[in-house]
Structure 1
Amino acid sequence: MLSFIKISNYALIERAELEFGPGFNVVTGESGAGKSILMGAVELLLGGRVDRSVVRTGADRCEVTGCFDVPPHLVKVIAGLLMEAGIPFDPAQPELQLRRVIGASSVRNFINDTPVSARLLGSIGEQLIDLHGANEQLSLLVPARQLDMLDRYAGTDEPRALCAKLCDDLAALRAERDEFNRNLPDEAEVSRLELLLEDIDKIDPAPGEDEELSAKHKLGSNSRQVLETAGYLTNALTESENSLADQLGSVYRQLLNLSRIDEKLTEKLLLDCDTIQESINALSSDISDLASRVDLDAEALAAIENRLSDIFTLKRRYGPSLEQVLDARDEARKRLKDFTDARKHREEFDQREKELEAELKTAAETLSKLRRKAAEKFAREVQGKLGAIGFARCILAVDFSEIPPCPSGMDRIEFMFSANAGENSQPLRRIASSGELSRLMLALKTVLADADAIPVVVFDEIDSNIGGETANRVGDELKNLGRHRQILCISHQAQVAARADRHYCVVKHTEKGRTYSESIRLDENGRELEIARMLGGGESALIHARSILTAR
C-alpha cells in the first residue's frame, strides 16, 4: 500500500503531502488544477522517464518521495531484489521508501536512502503499483499489448523468457556462422597462405632465436679482442708472477707473522684474506670460461651469419619482429585448417541450428498451450466484469493465429469484441469507442490485478467518456476492487467519486503572481461541495450530491 507521498517543487506543486489509506482513494478537481501532475509524480516513483522541465520555476530541484507498506505476499520478492542489489531490508519491518531527486543536470534515485539506478527503482515499483495512464487504453488496440496482458494473466514469464533466450541463442549462432563464412579464405588466399607456411617452415625459426644468434655473432666477430682481453685479465689475476693472487699471498704471509704476536689481532683479517683469494680465483676461472665460449672458427661464424640472414628475410616479409613472423605462421595454419575443415564446421553449425530450432518450437508450443488454456477463462472473467459495468450482453473472445516462433512464442492474438447482442465479434481495434475502451480497460485491469495481486492500482481518468448508470457501475466496481487492494483514481465522475473511501481534491490558486496547486483531503462537508461542483453546481446539485453520498 502507498501510505504516504511527499512532493516538492514539481510543476505547479510547491509542496504537497498526502496520506493515502487502504481501499478506494479518489482524486478530483477542476480541469488544469494539477490532478495529472499528481499522477505524474507517482509515475516518477516507478522509474519513469524524467523531463527536467517539471522542476518548478525558481527552484533548483524537485523531489518526490513515496512510502510503501509491503504486503506479506511480496516481502520475499522485494527482499530478494534489494538483497541482490546490496540494499538493506528487514522483512520483519516491511516498509519501503522510494525517492527521486531531479536537479538541473542530474537525477538521483533512492530506495531507503540508498542510491540506486532508475532500472532498479522501476523493478521495485512495478511489483508495488500497476499504473493505468490516461492514454494507455490506446495501447489496448495493439495485438502485442493484448498478448502481454494474456501472458500476465496466465503467468507465462518463464516459458516466454525461454523462447526469448532461445531466439537470442539462434541469432548469436547465425551471426557466428556468417562471420565464419565471411572470414574463410578463398582459393587465392589459400595459395598465398600455403606459400607463407612453406617459406617460414623451411627456416623454422625458434622464438627468440634471432636475439640469441645476434649475441653469439657479436661475440664471435670480436673473438680476438675478447680472447686478448681475457688473457690479460687472467694473467693479472692469477697467472703472472706478480698477479693479484701472488700479491695477496704476500699479504697473507705478513698477517700470519703478526698472528704469532697476537692471534686474536689478525684472526678476522686472515679470514677476509681467504675470502678475497677465493673471489680472485673464481673471477679468473669465469673469464677463462668466457674465452672458451667465444673461440669460434670461421666456419661456425659463417653459419651463424647465414642463419641470421634467413631469419632477417622472414622478418622483412612477415615481421618486422620474429614474434610477428611466428604469429603469421600460426594464423596461416589456423585459417588453412578452417578452410580444410569448413564442411565439418558448416555441418556443426547446421546441426546446432536444427537443435535450437527444435527447442524453440517445443518451448513455443508449451507457451501456446498455456495461453490457450488460460485464454477462455481470461475472456470469461473479463466479460463478467464488463457485464457489471454496463455491457450485460457483450462478448469477448481471444482469437489465436500461428506465426513462426519468435521471442514472444508462436502466437498472434487479437481480442474479439461485440458490445451488443446479435452483433458479430470483430477485432477490438476496429469497433471499440473511447467509452467502451475505458470500461474494457477497467475490466482488464481488475482481472489482471486479481491474477497477480499487485497491491496498488492507479487509474488516471478510467471513467472518461462514460456517465449515468454506467458511471454508477464503474464506481461500484472500483469500490469492490478496493476491498482487496489499494486503488488510487483520478476521476471526473461524481458517481465514481461518491463511492470512494477517501476523497482528495486538487485546487489551483494564484498568489503574488505565482500559480500553486494543492491537494486536500476532504471531510464529509467538503465532499458534498466537491461532488455538487462535479454535478454542475447550484442547490439542486448539492441535494443530488447528498443523495448519492447517502446511497453509496
Structure 2
Amino acid sequence: MLSLLRIENFALIDQLELEFGPGLNVLTGETGAGKSIILDAIDAVLGGKVSSRVIRTGTNRAMVEATFTSNSALAAWLTEQEIDLIEDNSIFISREITATSGKVRSRSRVNGVLVNQQFISELRDRLVEITAQGQTVLVGQSAQIRDWLDAYGGDSVLQQRQEVAHAFNAYQQAQQALEKRRTSERERLQQLDLLTYQVKELGEVNLGEPDELEQLQQERQRLNHVVELQQMSYKVYQALYQNDGEAPTATDLLADSETVLSDMVEYDSQMQTLLDMVRDAQATVVEVARQINAYGESLEADPQRLEEVEERIRELKQICRKYGPTLAEAIAYYQRIQAELAELNDSEQSIESLEIQQAECLAKLTQACQKLTQLRRTAAAKLEAKLIRELKPLAMEKVQFQVEIALVPPTIVGADKITFMFSPNPGEPLQPLSEIASGGEMSRFLLALKACFSQAETTGTMVFDEIDVGVSGRVAQAIAEKLHQLSQFHQVLCVTHQPLVAAMADRHFRVDKQVINQIKGKKEHNGSSEERTVVRITTLDNLTKRREELAQLAGGKSAQEAIAFAESLLTQAANHRQQKH
C-alpha cells in the first residue's frame, strides 16, 4: 500500500507531500488542475519513462519519493534481492531526475540502495497496477489477454504454461540441432574427404621419429664424401699407429715416454702415477687407431643407398612444407587429424536420429499445449460467467461476452490466440471487444475485469485514471460501488470527475492550480517577483469541505441545491459502506 508520496520540482509541482490511506482514495478537481500529474509522479518513481519536460521550469532536478507498506511475500523477495527492510517494515523508493546539457539522467534507490531499471520494473509489478481508459490498446493485444486469462486460471494454468515453455525450449534445441546438422552436412563431407586424404597421405609416408630428417641428412653427407672420409681415416691411422714414412707415430712417442718414466720410477716412486697415465693414453691411442682403421675399411660408395636417402629426404621435406614446418609438427598434426577423422566418422549423430529426436520433442510440446489449451478453456468459461456477473450491475444487463481461443502454431506460451469477444446489445453478434466497445463500455469492462481478479491478485495498490469518463447517472453509481468493492481487497487510488464516485471515497483530495508570486534574485530586496503556476492538493478531511467539493463537481457552484445533492451523495455512500461491512 502506498502510504506517503513526496514530490519536488515535478512538472507544475514545486513541493508536495501526500499521505494516502487504505481503502478508496479519490483525487478530484477541475479539468487541467493537475490530477494526472500525481499519477505521472507515481509512474515515474516506479520506473516509468521520463523526459526533461517533467522537470519544473527554472530547475534542473526533480525528485519523487514514495513509501509503501510491505507484506511477508514482498519482504521475502526483497531479502532475496539483498535489500534490507527499514525498521517499520516499509519500502522507501526514490527517483532523482536531472537534466544537463540537453540530457536527462535519473537514479533510483530502494531503501537507500541504488537499483537498475529491471529491478524497479519487477518491484513495480508487486506494488502497483495502473488502469486507465487508454488501456483499450492492451485489450486488443492477444499477449496481454492471454496473460490475464492465465492469471485468472491460477496455479494450474501457470504451472502448465511453464511445462509448455520447457517443452518448447527442448523442441527448439532439437530443431536447431537438426538444422545445424543439415546445413553443415556438406561442410562435414568436405572436411571428411580432406582429412581422409591427408591421413592416407601421411600414413603412406610411414612417419617415424621426429629426428629422422636430421639423421638422413647426416647419412647423405657421409655417402657423398666416402673417398674423402677414407683418405682422412687412413691419415689419422698413420699418425696414431702406423706411419709409412720415417716420422714416429703417437704410439711410438708414448712408448718412448713410458720407457723413460719406468726408469724414473726406480728412483722416485712418485712418478708411478704419471707412468700409469701414459700407459692409459697409449692404450687409448691404440684403440682409436684400430677403430679409425676399421671405419675407413668399412667405407664404400653406395649410389643406390644414396639415391634412397635423397628420395626419402625429398619426401619428408614435402610433408614438412604441407603439414610442418618441422617434421615433429607434421607428426603431431597427423595424430590430431586421425582423432578428428574418427570423430567425424563415429561420433556425429545422423540426420535420421536428430529427426526422430525433433519429432519426439514436437509431440511432447503438442501434448503440453493441448493440456494448456484445455485448462485455458476451463478458465475462460469461469471468467465469462464471472465477468458477465460483474458487468450487469454496471448497466450492462444484456451484455454477451466470450473468450475466443483459436489454435495457432505452438510457441513458448502455448498454441492459442485469445480474443475477448463482446456484444453489449441483444441481437448483435459477438465481435472483438477492442473494435466495437465505446469509451464508457470499455471503462466498465476494465473495471469489471479488475473486479474478477481482485481477490486473486497480490498487488497492494490499484490506480484508476478517469476510468469513469463517458458515463453518468446509474452507471457512475455502479462504478463507484465497484471501486468500493475493490478497495476492500486493495488500496485504490482514483482520479475522477464523478461526484458519485468521489462520495464513496475513504480519503478525498482536491487538486487545483494556483498562481503565486515567486521572488527572482538571491536577495528579497534586490529580487523582482514573477507569477508562477503551481499545483496544490488539499485533503478534505471534514464533512463540510467534502460537501462543498462534491457540490462543485455536481453543479459547478456551491448553490443550496448542489449542497443538498452533495449531502445526499455522502449519506448514500455511508449507507452503502455500512451495508457492505
Name the TM tier (shorter chain).
0.7 to 0.9
Q: Aligned in 2, Cα 1:492/1:320: closer, same or farther, shift over 3 Å?
A: farther
**8 Å contact 2:461–2:493 — kept in the other structure?**
yes
> Aligned residue for 2:231?
none
Alignment partner for residue 376 of structure 2, among 371, 380, 388?
A: 371
- Specify the code of the residue in structure 2 equivalent to 1:413: I
TM-score for the superposition, normalised by structure 2: 0.72
Q: Identity percentage over the alignment?
A: 31
**8 Å contact 2:192–2:344 — kept in the other structure?**
no
- Specify the code of the residue in structure 2 equivalent to 1:391: M
> Aligned residue for 1:401?
406
Q: Aligned in 2, Cα 1:338/1:533: closer, same or farther, shift over 3 Å?
A: farther
Alignment partner for residue 513 of structure 1, among 513, 517, 531?
A: 531
**8 Å contact 1:150–1:371 — kept in the other structure?**
yes
Q: Aligned in 2, Cα 1:134/1:59: closer, same or farther, shift over 3 Å?
A: farther
> Aligned residue for 1:5?
5
Q: Aligned in 2, Cα 1:195/1:446: closer, same or farther, shift over 3 Å?
A: same
Tell me if 1:535 matches 2:554. yes
**8 Å contact 2:178–2:355 — kept in the other structure?**
no
CA RMSD of aligned residues (A): 3.7
CA distance in 1, matches of 2:515, 2:214: 92
**8 Å contact 1:458–1:488 — kept in the other structure?**
yes
Tell me if 1:474 matches 2:476. no
Deviation at residue 357 of structure 1 after TM alignment: 1.2
Question: SS at 2:489's partner residue?
Answer: coil
Deviations along 1:490-520, whole A, 9 cap, x unmatched? 1121211111111112222233233322222
Question: SS at 1:492's partner residue?
Answer: coil
**8 Å contact 1:96–1:111 — kept in the other structure?**
yes
Deviation at residue 310 of structure 1 after TM alignment: 6.1
**8 Å contact 2:23–2:490 — kept in the other structure?**
yes
> Aligned residue for 1:82?
78
Question: SS at 1:167's partner residue?
Answer: helix
CA distance in 1, matches of 2:217, 2:59: 78
> Aligned residue for 1:294?
none
Please list, as runs of the form range in 1=range in 2, the aligned pairs for 1:278-297 lying within 5 A after superposition: none
Deviations along 1:421-463, whole A, 9 cap, x unmatched? 4444333234211110110000001111222242211111111
- Specify the code of the residue in structure 2 equivalent to 1:419: P
- Specify the code of the residue in structure 2 equivalent to 1:32: G
Question: SS at 2:84's partner residue?
Answer: coil
Question: SS at 1:438's partner residue?
Answer: helix
TM-score for the superposition, normalised by structure 1: 0.75
After superposing the two structures, state which structure 1 stretch, 26-35 or 320-329, moved more.
Answer: 320-329
- Specify the code of the residue in structure 1 equivalent to 2:402: A
Alignment partner for residue 460 of structure 1, among 465, 470, 473?
A: 465
> Aligned residue for 2:129?
130
Deviation at residue 315 of structure 1 after TM alignment: 5.2
> Aligned residue for 1:184?
185
Alignment partner for residue 101 of structure 1, among 96, 102, 106?
A: 96
CA distance in 2, matches of 1:97, 1:547: 40
> Aligned residue for 2:225?
none
Q: How many residues align?
A: 471
> Aligned residue for 2:161?
160
CA distance in 2, matches of 1:550, 1:56: 41
Deviations along 1:156-182, whole A, 9 cap, x unmatched? 323223323332332333233322322
CA distance in 2, matches of 1:324, 1:461: 80
Please list, as runs of the form range in 1=range in 2, the aligned pairs for 1:54-453 lying within 5 A after superposition: 54-71=54-71, 75-76=72-73, 78-89=74-85, 94-104=89-99, 105-155=104-154, 156-185=157-186, 190-202=192-204, 313-314=318-319, 316-318=321-323, 326=332, 330=336, 334=340, 337-338=343-344, 344-453=349-458
- Specify the code of the residue in structure 1 equivalent to 2:380: A
Structure 1 segments unaligned to the other structure (5+ residues): 222-297
Deviation at residue 137 of structure 1 after TM alignment: 2.7
Deviation at residue 66 of structure 1 after TM alignment: 1.5
Deviation at residue 335 of structure 1 after TM alignment: 6.6
- Specify the code of the residue in structure 2 equivalent to 1:9: N
Deviation at residue 190 of structure 1 after TM alignment: 4.2
**8 Å contact 1:55–1:61 — kept in the other structure?**
yes
> Aligned residue for 1:228?
none
Q: Aligned in 2, Cα 1:337/1:465: closer, same or farther, shift over 3 Å?
A: same
Question: SS at 2:456's partner residue?
Answer: helix
Deviation at residue 487 of structure 1 after TM alignment: 0.4
Which one has the largest radius of gyration? 2
Deviation at residue 364 of structure 1 after TM alignment: 1.2
Structure 2 segments unaligned to the other structure (5+ residues): 221-298, 517-529, 574-581
